[in-house]
Every structure is written in structure tokens, then in C-alpha cells.
A = this chain, B = another copy of it.
């Protein structure tokens, strides 16, 4: 029986992929003609064809994987544009942006939880869900504007790595408190050590290896070009990154940075470009697909959503702005806005809270909607600041 179900499934999945890609590119087309950020057009197209409006497409597992590959290839592409030395040059600023950009939203979330009369565990989860920046959205805007090589852009990318490692640890803390009412310091130290070791080892070892032996990507005979070896490295590091609890895009970004060290940098970019054109629209459209408007029937919920969104943006902006102050006000403002989008990481954190019974369905819907709102609000502002 599986084959028949699977077969009917394949026809329907192909139809879903077609509808989502077509809708996303029509949204892109419309927003391009209106001179608006195209990724907002793609997100709204997903919202239109998804359950929130017309219900043509349900956000199932296959679309989620395509969305994930979309942001993986997006960050791989950004990595291809980035050198390790570029990140090093902004290292200490990126570190302070990352740390302050996590601490202040986390504190804000806990304060909000306390103000709402929530338990410690729930407050910790709300705080953790407010921390992680979704660098996919910002990256797409930076690419679109052609400003990826600016120090501010490098700072955002470096801070996003710091940010993701800290968010991972905060989630471990929150989940520990929710599960046992206590925190296993040893386990969290191990998590931290593994995450830092992974990033450090890949970033330093990987770039050195390929800088020293760029012919490695040409060694296999199965491919005339370095495309598939590069894609295999990207998938492997993305999967490894996801398996140790970091975002898959951290691995993909590092993979891009490693591959960028090889001498034949340009041909790889031309070859990756079709994958970069094909997958990311699914990432943007999927954000819209996930929106459910059912939870927002009453004014109280809408007011809470507005408050959470404002808090999410204000605290992240404040933390990142403070961290980037030494770059000057204008640049610090750019970094602050660039760090503001929250995407799938916040949703995943809230999902863990939901699964452990710490975050109820209404709060969960609010956190999802907050992610989408920050994602929609940031690109137009970032464009104006660039």
C-alpha cells in the first residue's frame, strides 16, 4: 500500500511545489515593479496561497525541507561572499553585538513573562524565544542591496553566529528548568563547548585546508566542476550543525566560507546560482504559509501581539545598537535593524516550550506571528538605512 499513497502524494507534492514557486515569483515580480523589497512579496504570496487566506497549499514536511534548503543555500551563498579575515576584522564588535543582542531581549522576555504573571519556566521560554536573530531575512536584503562587503554587514553575520550559540544555551537552560525545575550546568557546559568547537574547528581548519589544497574540490571524477563536492560539503556541515542543536544555516555559512577559499571561486558561484535561485523562494513563501490568523480573533490577543513584537524589536535593536556603538551611530543603527528579524529559530524555541507544556497554544501563535511581523517590517527599513 505505501506506493499508491506515496504516488498520489508525489503528484500532490509536485503540485504544491509548483504553486508555491509560481506564487512566490509572482509576488517577487509585483513587489519588484512596485519597487518594494521582493522577499516581502514572496512572504505575502505564501500567506495568500496558504491556510491564512486561500488554503491552496498546506505547510507540510516536504515544503518545510524545501524552505530549510532555501535558507541553507542562501547562507551558503552569503558564505561564498565572505572571507574568514573579513569576520576577524569585525570580531570583537560582532561579539558584543551578539552578546548584548541576546542578553537584553532575554531580560525583556523574562520581564514580560513576570508582568503577565507567568511561571519562571514560561518566562524563561518567552525570553529565549525573543533572542535568536533570523539572519536569513537580513542576508537576503543585504545581498539584494549589494552591501554584503560592508563592515556592518560582516558584523551582522558574525553576531548571528554568536547569537545562535547563545540562543542554543538559553534554550537548554529553559528546557532544563521546565523539565526538572533545575539546570544541569555540566550538560550546558558540554553543549557550549561542542558548539564553540564546531564553529571554531570548521572555520579555522576548513578554510586552512581548502586554502592550502584548493584542488580537493576537483579531485572526484564524478563531477567535471566543483559544484557537487561543494554542495556535499554544504549539506554535510548544515546537517552536522543541525544535529548538534545549532541552526543548519550556521553550517551552511561556514561551508560557503570554506569553499570561497579555493582559487576557482567564481566558477563555483556561477554554478551554485541556479540552486540559489530555485530554493530560497520556498524559504520566504513558507514563512507566509505558516501564518494562521485563527488565533487573532480578539483585541486582547492582537494587543499582546503588538506588545511582544514591539518588545522583540526594541530590545534586540537596543542590544545590537549598544554592541555596535563604536562603529558610529549610523552604522550601529544599521546593525541594530539588521539583527531585528526573528524567524524559524524563535518558532523552534517556542515549539519546544509548547511540547513541554510550558508555552500554551495562544502564546505560541503570538510568537509565530511576531516572527513573521519582524520579518516583514525589517526589510523596508533596512533598505532605507543602507
- Residues on A close to B: CB < 8 A? 1-7, 9-11, 13-15, 17-18, 21-22, 25, 28-29, 32-33, 38, 61-62, 64-65, 68, 72, 220-223, 227-228, 231-232, 235-236, 238-239, 242-243, 248, 271-275, 277-278, 344, 347-348, 350-352, 354-355
Docked Cα-Cα span, A233 to B95, in Å, equals 46
Question: Knowing A29-B222, A222-B29, A228-B278 touch, does A18 contact B355 (C-beta < 8 A)?
Answer: no
Smallest distance from the beta carbon of A25 to chain B beta carbons, Å? 5
Asked if residues A25 and B228 are in contact (CB atoms below 8 Å), the reply is: yes
Smallest distance from the beta carbon of A287 to chain B beta carbons, Å? 13
Asked if residues B243 and A4 are in contact (CB atoms below 8 Å), the reply is: no
Closest residue of chain B to A41 (Cβ to Cβ) is: B222
Asked if residues B236 and A18 are in contact (CB atoms below 8 Å), the reply is: yes
Asked if residues B25 and A232 are in contact (CB atoms below 8 Å), the reply is: yes
Question: Knowing A25-B220, A25-B232, A274-B274 touch, does A354 contact B3 (C-beta < 8 A)?
Answer: yes
Contacts of A354 in B (CB 8 A): 1, 3-4
Question: Knowing A11-B242, A21-B235, A239-B14 touch, does A277 contact B223 (C-beta < 8 A)?
Answer: yes
Question: Knowing A15-B239, A17-B235, A222-B32 touch, does A10 contact B65 (C-beta < 8 A)?
Answer: yes
Smallest distance from the beta carbon of A229 to chain B beta carbons, Å? 8
Q: For the complex formed by this chain, how many copies does it contain in all?
A: 2
- Tell me the interface secondary structure of chain A in the complex: helix
Asked if residues A242 and B21 are in contact (CB atoms below 8 Å), the reply is: no
Asked if residues A64 and B21 are in contact (CB atoms below 8 Å), the reply is: no
Docked Cα-Cα span, A61 to B16, in Å, equals 14
CB-contact partner of A272 in B1, B221, B236, B274, under 8 A = B274
Contacts of A231 in B (CB 8 A): 21, 278
Asked if residues A239 and B18 are in contact (CB atoms below 8 Å), the reply is: yes
Docked Cα-Cα span, A236 to B17, in Å, equals 9
CB-contact partner of A3 in B3, B22, B348, under 8 A = B348
Docked Cα-Cα span, A21 to B236, in Å, equals 10
Docked Cα-Cα span, A6 to B368, in Å, equals 15
Asked if residues B222 and A3 are in contact (CB atoms below 8 Å), the reply is: no
Contacts of A221 in B (CB 8 A): 29, 32-33
Contacts of A236 in B (CB 8 A): 18, 22
Asked if residues A350 and B3 are in contact (CB atoms below 8 Å), the reply is: yes
Smallest distance from the beta carbon of A36 to chain B beta carbons, Å? 13
Asked if residues A28 and B350 are in contact (CB atoms below 8 Å), the reply is: no
